[in-house]
Structure 1
Amino acid sequence: MSCSKSLRRVALAAALLSSLSFAGGAHAAVLNFDDLADGLVPLNYGGLDWSRFGWTAFSTAAEPYTAHSGAGRVASGFLAEDAASRIGFSQAVRFDGAWFAGQSGAVLSFELFYQGQRVASSQSLDPSATPSFLASGYAGLVDAVQVKSQNHGEFVMDDFSFTAAPVPEPQSYALLLGGLIGIAAVLRRRAV
């Protein structure tokens, strides 16, 4: 077997091992609000920052404020400012979107933030009694999401979905370093 074939196989194996160890850190989360009592959403519900006091949880059936799954859902304050609907993440995530239902005409969208800067806005959604998914439309990382609307309090949100970015563990770095040392040893042995 030639040196270049050996090197390619070792490099491929190191890359596969490295990608497997990093992929294990990513996880998808869906907050369905079914475990909340009626009232203000707790400040750290789901590991997120809800401290703007813009969200209230409720589970009583009420048309057109239909839940997408279960009975729980959250509503922003009636005629609240967009800033009151801001939800912060404890680490950078890929935000997928959420389900909304409510009064027709309560058009809403997402504004996505990273390190204090707005990085993207979603399409708009005009809710109805039938829950509809509003996708973020952004594949990059964010650390805060804000719901933008002229009619806060006239819609509900359910099944808030995001994927936490993989955070490499120290073992991942050790494995990568070991692979690089192995490649260097093979190269040195072949050069002799």
Structure 2
Amino acid sequence: MFNKSVCAVAMLLASQFAAATVVTFDDIPGTKNLGIYGIPDGYAGLNWDKWIIVPEISPYTAVSGRYTASTADARNEAKVSSPTAFTFQGAYISGFALTTLHVELFYHGQMVGRSVDVTPNDTNYFLSSGYNGLVDSLTFVSTNKPYYSMDNFIYNEAPAPVPEPAIASMMLAGLGLLSWKRRTGAARKCSR
């Protein structure tokens, strides 16, 4: 019975860390009307540097819902960042075949990974990050203005660090166990 309980608790804890967050861009206030809206910082736990929500219109096709994310101006770089580390799995990309796009992944200001180059079209392509480590910032780099959009941005929050048990409390627990064992052993000898 004890082993089953331990396994159940371990599986419950593991499932908590395995769940990915899928950002669909369809639940931002104001997107009920056709129009363009900025993605507010903090949306889905991330900061969006001049990203906007645009209604699905070819070649900017949505994977889910009616909206996709694109950049707000004619810059060749757009950023997504977070004050806490996360792992970026990828996002679906669509758009005009006038540009090539890749994602650069950063952790504490150092580039730690880079996706492959893709040329968008009106069929959604899953742009995988190709990197499984922690990041805190992403830069989407296009060769020719923001002729692309993304949908279903997928990431995992970094698990909280597991605190190490204090040495003193472990020693006290061990001494308590030894004391208890000694008493139960002495009680057995007296009852014989």
TM-score (normalizing by structure 1) = 0.73
Aligned residues of 1:109 and 1:147 also touching (Cα < 8 A): yes
Going from structure 1 to structure 2, the CA distance change for 1:19 and 1:94 (only over 3 Å counts) comes to farther
Question: Higher RCO, 1 or 2 (CA under 8 Å, sep at least 6)?
Answer: 1
Pairing 1:48-67 to 2, within 5 Å after superposition = 48-50=46-48, 52-53=49-50, 55-59=51-55, 61-67=56-62
Aligned residues of 2:90 and 2:126 also touching (Cα < 8 A): yes
**Partners in 2 of 1:93 and 1:28 — Cα distance?**
10
| Cα deviation, residue 111, structure 1 | 0.2
Matched, 1:135 2:128: yes
**Partners in 2 of 1:17 and 1:68 — Cα distance?**
35
Equivalent of 1:23 in 4, 14, 17:
14
**Partners in 2 of 1:185 and 1:152 — Cα distance?**
68
Q: Which moved more, 1:17-26 or 1:131-140?
A: 17-26
Equivalent of 2:98 in 102, 105, 114:
105
**Partners in 2 of 1:109 and 1:79 — Cα distance?**
16
**Partners in 1 of 2:139 and 2:126 — Cα distance?**
16
**Partners in 2 of 1:173 and 1:71 — Cα distance?**
49
Amino acid at match of 2:127: L
**Partners in 2 of 1:106 and 1:158 — Cα distance?**
18
| Cα deviation, residue 137, structure 1 | 0.2
Larger Rg: 2
Gaps of 5+ in 1: 1-11
Matched, 1:35 2:30: no
Determine helix, strand or coil for the equivalent of 1:143: strand
**Partners in 2 of 1:22 and 1:92 — Cα distance?**
19
Equivalent of 1:119 in 109, 112, 120:
112
Gaps of 5+ in 2: 182-192
Determine helix, strand or coil for the equivalent of 2:44: helix
Moved over 3 A (4+): 15-25
Q: What is the aligned-residue identity percentage?
A: 33
**Partners in 1 of 2:162 and 2:147 — Cα distance?**
43
Find the counterpart in structure 2 of residue 163 from structure 1.
156
Q: Which moved more, 1:160-169 or 1:113-122?
A: 160-169
Going from structure 1 to structure 2, the CA distance change for 1:173 and 1:166 (only over 3 Å counts) comes to farther
Determine helix, strand or coil for the equivalent of 1:46: helix
Amino acid at match of 1:57: I
TM-score (normalizing by structure 2) = 0.73
| Cα deviation, residue 151, structure 1 | 2.1
Q: How many residues align?
A: 169
Going from structure 1 to structure 2, the CA distance change for 1:173 and 1:69 (only over 3 Å counts) comes to farther
